[in-house]
Amino acid sequence: MIGREAVQKGRPREFDKEQVLDKALHVFWKRGYEGTSLSDLTEAMGINRPSLYAAFGNKEELFKLALDRYVEKGPGSVHRASLQLPTARAVVESLLTSSATMLTDPSTPPGCLAVQGALSCGEASESIKQALCERRSLGEQQLRQRFERAKNEGDLGPDSDPASLARYVMTVMQGMSVQASGGATRADLLAVVDMALKAWSSSKG
Amino acid sequence: MIGREAVQKGRPREFDKEQVLDKALHVFWKRGYEGTSLSDLTEAMGINRPSLYAAFGNKEELFKLALDRYVEKGPGSVHRASLQLPTARAVVESLLTSSATMLTDPSTPPGCLAVQGALSCGEASESIKQALCERRSLGEQQLRQRFERAKNEGDLGPDSDPASLARYVMTVMQGMSVQASGGATRADLLAVVDMALKAWSSSKG
DNA sequence: ATATATATGTACCGAGCGGTACCGATATAG
DNA sequence: CTATATCGGTACCGCTCGGTACATATATAT
C-alpha cells in the first residue's frame, strides 16, 4: 500500500482542510465548545454540514483536531522554544511574557483555548472538558521536567520544588487567560508578569 | 401598604425559596450556565418547571440570583473579612489561603462560580458572561481600594502600584480556580499560595 | 359559602440542536 | 464510454432546548 498522497479516486475536495480547520478553531476559541453550534461552524468554515462530517467526523472530533492544531501552531511551538532556554529563570520569564502577548493578540480571541474551551460543561461534553484538562496538565508536566533538569544542573537550588514551581507558573498563566477574557490589556498582563517574576527571584531555593 | 411579610393570599408555596435556590446554585456551579438545562435544574431543585418560572423568572434571572447568593454567602463574606485585616500583607495572605481552601471544599464543586460559570459562551448567553466578568472586576476593584488605603497609611511603599498588585492577586486566585477544576488538591494550591506570597514579600516597595 | 389570589402538575409549543439519507456532480480506473 | 468512488447540496431525522397554556388544588378575605 502506497502512502496517503497516492493518486486519489473520486471527486476532489473543494476546500483546504487545514484552512477550514483554522476557521473552526477560531469559532471554538471564541465561543467555547458548548457555545458553538454546527451552524456557527459551517457558516464560518464556508462548507456545508455533510462535508464537515465527511472530513472531520463530528463536532467532538473536530474540536479535538482544532485543539491539536491550536497547540501545535500556536502556544505549543512558542512554549517549546521557551523551554529550551538555558536557565530556569529565562524559561519562566519567556513563558510568562510570551503568554501575556499571545493571550492579548488582537488577531485572535482573548485567552487560551485550553482554558476558555470548557472549564465546566454538561454531561455530554465531559470528554471535551477532560481533553482540555489533560492538555493543561501536559504543559505543566513538561515545565516540571524542565525544572527538574535545572535542579540537577544546579541552576535551581537543592531545596527547590520543581512540581510546585511549575504549578505556580501554570496558575499565573491560566489566571492571565481569565483576565484576558475579562478585557485585561497586554500592559495589564505584563504588569502581572513582573509581579509573578518577583516571586521567582526570591525563591530559587 | 404593609411589608412583604404581610399575610399572604392564595395558596402558599410548598418549597423554601432559598433552599431550592441553593440547589440551583450547586448545579450551575458544577455544570456552568450553558451546560445546565432546565431539566437538570428542576430535578435538582425538586420542583417543576412552572413553579421555577413563577418563583425566579427564567433561567437567566435564576442564574443571576444564584450568583448573588453565591457571592453573598460564599466567598463574598470571607473576602470581606479578609479585606478588614490590618495590613496589606495580612489581607493578601488571608485572601489567598481562604481561596485555596474554598476552591477545594469537598462539599462544593471545585473552582469558583464566577470563573467556571461562563468564560466563553454562545451569543445567547453573552449577558451571563458579562455579569460574571463584572463580578470579578468588582472584587478586583475592592482589593485595589484596600491597597490604595494601605499606600496612604504607609503600609505599602510610595512606589507601589495598587492596581497592579490587586490584579496580580486576582490573577493568582483565578488561576487557582482553573487548577482546582483540573483536580489540583488543597495542598497543591497552598503551595501555589506560598510561591505567590514570595512575590509579595519582595515587592512591597 | 363565595370570590379572589396564588401554587402545582400535565401536557404542550416553536425553535434549534447534532447528525444523516439521498441524489446529482465530478473526479479517476479500466 | 462505463464503472467506481468521493464530494457537495437539499432536505430531513429524532431529540432536547427554554418557555408556557390551562386546568386543578389550596390558601385568605368577606
Contact state of B196 with A168 under an 8 Å Cβ cutoff:
yes
A50 touches strand C (CB under 7 A): yes
Closest C-alpha to B97, from B190, B5, B20, B13: B190
Query: Considering only CB atoms, which chain B residues are within 8 Å of A183?
Result: 133
The Cα A127–Cα A129 span in angstroms is 5
Q: Quick check: A4 pLDDT over 50? A: no
Query: What pLDDT score does A199 carry?
Result: 84
CA angle (B73, B76, B79) in 5-degree steps: 130
The 3 state secondary structure assigned to A14-70 is CCCHHHHHHHHHHHHHHHCCCCCCHHHHHHHHCCCHHHHHHHHCCHHHHHHHHHHHH
Residue B128 at interface with chain A, using a CB cutoff of 8 Å = no
Assign B79 to helix, strand or coil.
helix
Who has greater pLDDT, A202 or B21? B21
| Domains delineated in chain A | 17-69 (1.10.10.60), 77-201 (1.10.357.10)
Residue B205 at interface with chain A, using a CB cutoff of 8 Å = no
The stretch B109-124 carries a mean pLDDT of 97
The Cα A65–Cα B54 span in angstroms is 44
B162-183 pLDDT, tens digit each: 999 999 999 999 999 999 999 9
Contact state of A201 with B203 under an 8 Å Cβ cutoff:
no
The residue assigned the cell 458572561 is: B129
Confidence of residue B5 (pLDDT cuts 50, 70, 90): very low
Q: Which three cell numbers stand for residue A174?
A: 491560566
Residue A82 at interface with chain B, using a CB cutoff of 8 Å = no
- A/B interface, count of CB pairs below 8 Å: 171
B6-16 pLDDT, tens digit each: 577 889 999 99
The Cα A69–Cα A99 span in angstroms is 17
Query: What pLDDT score does A8 carry?
Result: 76
The residue of chain B with its CA nearest to that of A27 is B122
If one counts every other C-beta atom within 10 angstroms of the C-beta of residue A116, the result is 25
Question: Residues 40-79 of B near strand C (Cβ < 7 Å)?
Answer: 47-51, 54-55
Provide CB contacts within 8 A for B188, sequence distance 6+.
A164, A167, B179
Q: Which nucleotides of C are covered by protein (CB under 7 A)?
A: 4-11, 16-22, 24-29
The residue assigned the cell 435556590 is: B21
Residue A44 at interface with chain B, using a CB cutoff of 8 Å = no
Instruction: Give the residue nearest to nucleotide C27 (CA to C1').
Output: A11
Query: What pLDDT score does A201 carry?
Result: 81
Contact A36, A15 (CB under 8 A): no
Q: Determine whether A75 is exposed, middle or buried from the number of CB atoms within 10 Å of its CB (0-12, 13-18, 19+).
A: buried
The Cα B128–Cα B119 span in angstroms is 9
Instruction: Give the whole-number percent of chain A exceeding pLDDT 70.
Output: 95
Provide CB contacts within 8 A for A21, sequence distance 6+.
A56, A62, A65, A66, A69
Instruction: Give the whole-number percent of chain B exceeding pLDDT 90.
Output: 91
Query: What pLDDT score does B4 carry?
Result: 39
Query: What pLDDT score does A166 carry?
Result: 98
Question: Residues 3-32 of A near strand C (Cβ < 7 Å)?
Answer: 7-12
The Cα A115–Cα A18 span in angstroms is 23
